[in-house]
Structure 1
């Protein structure tokens, strides 16, 4: 594997860091926008919802709503309450130093938090051996869930399914009873709620941390929206006879529009992949970044809204921080998930917990029913919202079905197995959720231990060359009858036409859409590749074949006769770039009848950013040389050629540690990076980042233009620091004393902290 460039090291934050001074220390640091929850009372939930849409989703900027600490009941949102009710509950804390899980009880962890905090000071905070135990991703107590449901604006709350609940008492609650107020005919705040209960991903979680614990830089899963409320923190008072240090969390956040710049900066400069959530960036790395970083010091009552695909990292400080967090899926995030987040997650084999394609299907079913049942009491605005989201969901549904449709030239695929959809089928390679059609290997279903374990592969992975070692002879499986999906598509299309007959020009019958795709669908590609790719009998040893590779000839001298080149003993085709002999099914053939060149998929991927799917879905694919951008050594000398420069870095990922052990990569070895091609191209990292920035600005401006009719004009507070919070809102309208000696917290830590404190540690 080619050598990777150096990776930026982890550097902790000092306990004495002043956040206000930090923001002032760099021109690309800014405070995130804050409003007080009282402003929601004055301007109403509807205007607040518009603000969230415009600021967080369209503009892609973080938003902090403060003041919820006045609405929380300190009797239950406290360390004391947790000890009383959940002291004996066992959880796995994450040891961030050793990257291992540590089993302990909540009571034991809470008891030892002062000791875990007191080990840090301004002199030793960089010590790599000190213990960092983070109690993260633990289930939220039901009483907390029920209380928060009463005070969090309904459209922002976990699994919100429709309108404002009768029990809502939070900011913006309408004190006047109204029949319309409790109508169930309204769009869902979280489309995850449209799934059957047993299919939903449970993501309402609690996070309890001490000084020095952190969450590495990452994006919310599946492009979802993040909500994070700090419900409690130590305040510096004496607790249980011990002094505490004030608790807070420092957030480093980016905007959605900068996601490509962030991803490229993480790889090209820091040597990490933002999709893998394994690096907490240094302050100097944020200072040197070519994008704006929004900084928040979160304290109790601060409710942070995280934009989709916006990278962020969190650092906890003080004796204790306690937060409740959840994710929401909306129509906007579904579109970004299907087209952007899931392809990235698939590449690094990050499991998909949210079942996005299934959410599209079940949300359409719910919205269709709601629109059919709507009566005259439902406001026109709500009906319009439903219709708008229904159309967006329908477009996604059409896109999904087009990808799953078989070749129109072939008759029905024979011997397709049917298993009813239960949302539990995942790809053995990328761990993505499979909605309907996929491939399964009958030869690999029986493991060496005799247990039956199916090898199921999604179409996206198979097109990339990922599969079991058999490579071919896989069988088709579907989880919905195709006629049922087609019937739903036409029923929902007709429902759209009843809203607006002019939509018939945009949403045509499925057969018309399929015939005019202009490219092969994923299922069509898989059909053809199953015929092309060879079957490997994994029960027989692979024969050793001695491959004869022709050495490239030296440049000829005009003053001497050319040397006779040695003829290769192999007649197999070679890749135009790497010159390796490959079987035909591993090579992309140019469709130009005057061109006989072949390119291996690995060279296309690394040298030209061309994925196997891009080649295979194109009906008449032309090679880079015919398109005048080939960058091989010979073509670079051609004055008519403009050598291609890779637009982004690919560091390479060894997925063998994640994918099913029966898996192979037969087209592209994704462990290899494209750094050597960037070096050949003399790639300008700053120029590449600047290009991403310009593209992001253009997309953001287009999004604002597209939404100008739906929402009122919004003035960016960064251009008017004097904007008040109210004006900003108006713009958008088990017992504590149990024996814990058998639970592993570092004994040396407890011993050292019982000794008299030394100011230098």
Structure 2
């Protein structure tokens, strides 16, 4: 059996936990920065907006704003009102132990919160049979939404389109009349939430409510698509009698990280805790956070506390007391879009997580909206207009990257492309990410496995990775926007940017024509790779199915250490395939494979299978395919195979991170297969080969994070920002590798299962 990384077991927090004492006694724990909403009244709203930008977005640290409970109308923000108004409304309640959902009426759930809380005592809180029923991700009552929208500063509320009147903190010092307007009366200013740029039918509904009791929790995760998180506790039990039943005071404990530590957190979660932060199914015990090699920001959230969560900052939440009621939402900004397209979406694609926010579409529609505003603001000198121009330029660069990735080969453009008008509803059948424009579809297997009239649509990124339906090739091209329209928009927006400052000659260089931009890329686009792979990969006729992937083959980069491959089996495999012209041996794992599953070196005659490249050298299929002249690890003097390591000039590549592997069969379309890399396999064999230096890899991540932070600070200081870097506490010697101290559970099952659900 292949070896697996041991996984840390779930451990609940004690009802008697004194979080303040824990923070004061733990070196890498610190309470998050907090301010009162009354303090916001002392300054113009622009100053508060700069604080949020600096603290949460640029510094990547959480911010807590306290005191909103004094401004919330307790007539509607109460358990009594919720029961009276929505008692009969049926909601899905999540059983966190069984990992199932059950339909409860709101009234029934609220009636039993006291019972669910009393079941937890200091003596039994670790028992596996305790119920943890969480009313989460339910629609926010419209009355609450309207009240909060009028109370909170508009720039950080859900679906904000721009400055508007409100009655909350700093409202009296906000003068909308100073902001320039278009001839139609629209304010010329950036939107607080770029999701508002999408047509209403395309927007993701992410204004949600959460009602929990003692022992319910949200596992460690990052906000979807690198967006900014907002969470306000609007009500909680206070310890008094309610409906004749005793209650315990409600609050929530938050453990949060910083944006800059995201890679350290990911490596720590995988290599030490044995879980993947992208899967979002593990609540880390307190002692795992206490010895973690990064700073943990702590908040005990009480009624009226609004928490702002930085993009890509991992965090988890534990609810305490009889009842906590919260409202949460996410915002998309230019900063989050850049992080989403660069990091968050590739990670989501690996684990097949829904992309609900349609990030690429947001870029396009925001450019459309902003361009109309800016055409009437060329001569306007105002801070919000300056910010609008800056955002427009950054969005334009994102749009350029999107178009360049979708560009066909200039030497061999596709002529037969089907047009399907964009309605934002096309998602990849494998990874489930939203597809903005071009994709591949396979109508040939539409009726396979009972999927009647359901064509198999795959995004270009997945197809490059070897993901597709069993037909593998003979897929057809589809686009949702006429390509001419997209390139015309590019040129029109480019001219608009250049016209903003006709005396600045550098703008023409910074924002070249699309033809020039294509020539500057220096590598193949994702669409061009797909064109080549459609020619290389064979078509498997669904009416005459044949095996495409030999699942009996295991490469040397798997967990098996190669011990399961007998010499006799290898000789049989060789005798069957060695004589074929389109078959070659992988330089690393020594298995024979068809050529389209191998990456050929441009400098020598060596070929590497994509599985070995991915696990042993952290080279994705796209990285090898996009280069016009790809040099293999041997030619780069980095090969780590046994033969090459005998070469004294070789410096074998050591993996930088842990890959645990993802089994996507439960979420991907059932017709899906993986033809190039089995992403279920980990790279643990390669880590063990080099000593599995967990501490060394984490330290390397720390150095990279610190260097990136210093570079970021320098850049911001050059732009006029000045601030102090927060201290970073290194891991304590002797703690980082003590797996027994962590209380590891060698069972691969993870969270224990509650055997029953009380009706």
**TM-score with structure 1 length normalisation?**
0.90
Contact 1:548–1:568, Cα closer than 8 Å, also in 2: no
| Residue 328 (structure 2) aligns with | 325
| Residue 46 (structure 1) aligns with | 46
Q: Which residues of 2 match residues 177-576 of structure 1 at below 5 A?
A: 179-180=177-178, 183=181, 184-374=187-377, 380-410=382-412, 412-449=413-450, 451-500=452-501, 501=504, 502-542=506-546, 568-569=575-576, 570-571=578-579, 572-576=583-587
Task: Report how many residues are paired.
Answer: 707
Q: Equivalents in 1 of 2:363, 2:617: separation in Å?
A: 33
Secondary structure at the counterpart of residue 668 of structure 1: coil
| Shift of residue 150, structure 1, vs aligned partner | 1.0
| Residue 169 (structure 1) aligns with | 167
Contact 1:253–1:295, Cα closer than 8 Å, also in 2: yes
- What CA deviation, in whole Å up to 9, does each residue of 1:333-362 have, x standing for no partner? 000000100000000101100000000000
Contact 2:179–2:188, Cα closer than 8 Å, also in 1: no
Contact 2:360–2:436, Cα closer than 8 Å, also in 1: yes
| Shift of residue 603, structure 1, vs aligned partner | 0.2
Q: Equivalents in 2 of 1:180, 1:697: separation in Å?
A: 41
Contact 1:455–1:468, Cα closer than 8 Å, also in 2: yes
Q: Equivalents in 2 of 1:243, 1:21: separation in Å?
A: 27
Contact 1:429–1:659, Cα closer than 8 Å, also in 2: yes
Q: Equivalents in 1 of 2:723, 2:543: separation in Å?
A: 66
| Residue 184 (structure 2) aligns with | none
- What CA deviation, in whole Å up to 9, does each residue of 1:376-433 have, x standing for no partner? 7x661011000000000000000000000000111x3122000110000000000000
1:11 aligns with 2:11: yes
Contact 1:645–1:683, Cα closer than 8 Å, also in 2: no
Q: Equivalents in 2 of 1:151, 1:551: separation in Å?
A: 59
Cα pair distance change 1:548/1:223, threshold 3 Å: closer
Secondary structure at the counterpart of residue 585 of structure 2: coil
Q: Equivalents in 1 of 2:263, 2:757: separation in Å?
A: 45
Contact 2:447–2:453, Cα closer than 8 Å, also in 1: yes
Contact 2:555–2:611, Cα closer than 8 Å, also in 1: no
| Residue 738 (structure 2) aligns with | none
Cα pair distance change 1:668/1:328, threshold 3 Å: same
Secondary structure at the counterpart of residue 8 of structure 2: coil
Match of 1:660 among 665, 669, 674: 669
| Shift of residue 716, structure 1, vs aligned partner | 6.2
Cα pair distance change 1:544/1:444, threshold 3 Å: closer
Q: Equivalents in 2 of 1:206, 1:483: separation in Å?
A: 43
Contact 2:449–2:671, Cα closer than 8 Å, also in 1: no
- What CA deviation, in whole Å up to 9, does each residue of 1:562-607 have, x standing for no partner? xxx9984522311011111100000000000xx2111000000000
| Residue 596 (structure 2) aligns with | 585
- What CA deviation, in whole Å up to 9, does each residue of 1:222-243 have, x standing for no partner? 0000000000000001111111
| Shift of residue 220, structure 1, vs aligned partner | 0.2
Cα pair distance change 1:544/1:590, threshold 3 Å: closer
Q: Equivalents in 1 of 2:391, 2:589: separation in Å?
A: 48
Q: Equivalents in 2 of 1:420, 1:748: separation in Å?
A: 47
Secondary structure at the counterpart of residue 47 of structure 2: helix
Secondary structure at the counterpart of residue 174 of structure 1: helix
| Shift of residue 15, structure 1, vs aligned partner | 0.4
Q: Equivalents in 2 of 1:550, 1:9: separation in Å?
A: 30
Structure 1 unpaired stretches of 5+ = 553-564, 720-744, 751-761
1:675 aligns with 2:696: no
**TM-score with structure 2 length normalisation?**
0.90
| Shift of residue 16, structure 1, vs aligned partner | 0.5
Contact 2:45–2:174, Cα closer than 8 Å, also in 1: no
Secondary structure at the counterpart of residue 633 of structure 1: coil
Secondary structure at the counterpart of residue 303 of structure 2: coil
Cα pair distance change 1:89/1:597, threshold 3 Å: same
| Shift of residue 627, structure 1, vs aligned partner | 0.3
Compare CA radii of gyration and give the structure with the larger one: 1
| Residue 596 (structure 1) aligns with | 605
Q: Which residues of 2 match residues 84-123 of structure 1 at below 5 A?
A: 84-123=84-123
| Shift of residue 538, structure 1, vs aligned partner | 2.2
Contact 1:256–1:310, Cα closer than 8 Å, also in 2: yes
Secondary structure at the counterpart of residue 631 of structure 2: coil
